[in-house]
């Protein structure tokens, strides 16, 4: 009997963990395969651990372990250390999966021989979501906001630089190593970059289907992308990787806007600031109109989309600037950016 291990980092997920584990246990696996679920708990203090202990007591396929590092990368590595599977599938508690998610991961892995396979990143609001979460999902899925990222293209099949979550033959970790525990965010991007630079292959398949529940508040979106932006320079420095256009634009714009505002305070005139602000407002309006064309969204959702786009851009841009400052200054991440937020 062959084993596929599902590995999951979590912390303070009392509201979701039971439903998540039940969903994993419903996963269809091919004949001749067994499933193991390993949950690495980041020292939860909301009752999650008690629930995990009870679940594991009644379901022998579930195992939970301690993750004293409390972040995703340390949790993934801790789960990898005890996973028995010859195939590894990563999951996230805030994502819902098609019943054949694991089976499709195994099938695509076999068909392509890729070192990591995964599906697209599809954002869908909660059933009782307010307009803001609908706006977050609409902006998230738009190719105009995402800068053409393949991971947001739901119908794309082929080689990619990264995929959502991912699944690997055990041999991939033996060849390329585990996840970088210095990274609080972007550890999946860094691992995929390591695979590609090491001669491996990453494959995205539209058959691997899941639904991600995005943040529901604007402040949460800003904090999320602040962290994404902050940790990206650490990945770039590690691999000597130049920033792509879509990664560089937010930080460049924030710097230009800040300099224009400073010039105004120094009585050099506010015209550059107003020009930049006007151009950005026009660009965001154009993106919002494109989103309106891509799907049927109520007016109260579309009215919130510009604020969501700005939260994405300014969060990522400000985070990148602070990240580059820390990379060039001492190369270590700040503790305040080491705490995951939801």
pLDDT in tens, 153-201: 889 999 998 899 999 999 999 999 999 888 887 788 889 989 998 999 9
Strands (E), the chain: 2-10, 33-41, 62-66, 87-90, 95-97, 116-119, 158-159, 164-169, 202-204, 210-212
For 18-57, the pLDDT digits (tens) are 999 999 999 999 999 999 999 999 989 888 999 999 999 9
Q: What is the model's pLDDT at position 285? A: 94
Dist. CA 193–CA 87, nearest whole Å = 20
Dist. CA 6–CA 35, nearest whole Å = 7
Question: What is 2-215's CATH number?
Answer: 3.90.550.10
Break the chain into its structural domains and give their ranges: 2-215, 220-337
**DSSP of 20-55:** HHHHHHT----TTEEEEEEEEE---SSSHHHHHHHH
Dist. CA 185–CA 225, nearest whole Å = 10
First to last CA, the chain: 38
The better pLDDT of the pair 144, 90 is held by 90
Confidence band for 245, pLDDT divided at 50, 70 and 90:
low
Model pTM score: 0.84
Calculate mean pLDDT across residues 118-144: 89
What is the helix (H) or strand (E) element at residue 284, kind and residue range? helix 271-294
């Amino acid at each position: 009997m062959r084993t596929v291990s599902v590995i999951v980092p979590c912390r303070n997920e009392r509201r979701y963990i039971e439903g998540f584990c039940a969903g994993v246990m419903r996963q269809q696996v091919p004949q001749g395969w067994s499933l193991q679920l390993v949950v690495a708990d980041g020292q939860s203090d909301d009752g999650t651990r008690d629930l995990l202990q009870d679940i594991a007591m009644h379901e022998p396929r579930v195992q939970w372990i301690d993750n004293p590092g409390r972040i995703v990368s340390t949790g993934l590595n801790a789960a990898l250390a005890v996973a028995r599977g010859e195939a590894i599938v990563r999951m996230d508690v805030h994502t819902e999966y098609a019943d054949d998610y694991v089976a499709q991961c195994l099938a695509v892995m076999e068909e392509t021989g890729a070192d990591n396979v995964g599906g697209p990143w599809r954002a869908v609001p909660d059933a009782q979501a307010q307009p803001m979460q609908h706006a977050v999902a609409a902006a998230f899925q738009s190719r105009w906001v995402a800068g053409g990222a393949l991971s947001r293209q739901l119908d794309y099949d082929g080689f990619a630089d990264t995929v959502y979550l991912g699944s690997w033959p055990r041999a991939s970790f033996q060849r390329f190593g585990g996840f970088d525990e210095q990274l609080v965010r972007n550890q999946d991007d860094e691992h995929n970059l390591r695979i590609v630079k090491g001669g491996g292959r990453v494959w995205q398949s539209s058959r691997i289907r899941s639904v991600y529940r995005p943040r529901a508040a604007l402040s949460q979106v800003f904090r999320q992308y602040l962290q994404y932006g902050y940790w990206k320079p650490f990945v770039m420095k590690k691999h000597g990787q130049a920033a792509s256009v879509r990664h560089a634009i937010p930080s460049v714009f924030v710097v230009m806007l800040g300099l224009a505002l400073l010039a105004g305070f120094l009585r050099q005139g506010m015209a550059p600031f107003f020009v930049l602000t006007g151009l950005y407002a026009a660009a965001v309006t154009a993106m919002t109109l494109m989103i309106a064309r891509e799907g049927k969204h109520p007016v109260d959702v579309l009215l919130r989309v510009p604020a969501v786009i700005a939260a994405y851009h300014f969060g990522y841009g400000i985070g990148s600037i602070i990240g580059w400052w820390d990379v060039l200054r001492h190369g270590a991440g700040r503790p305040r950016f080491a705490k995951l937020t939801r």
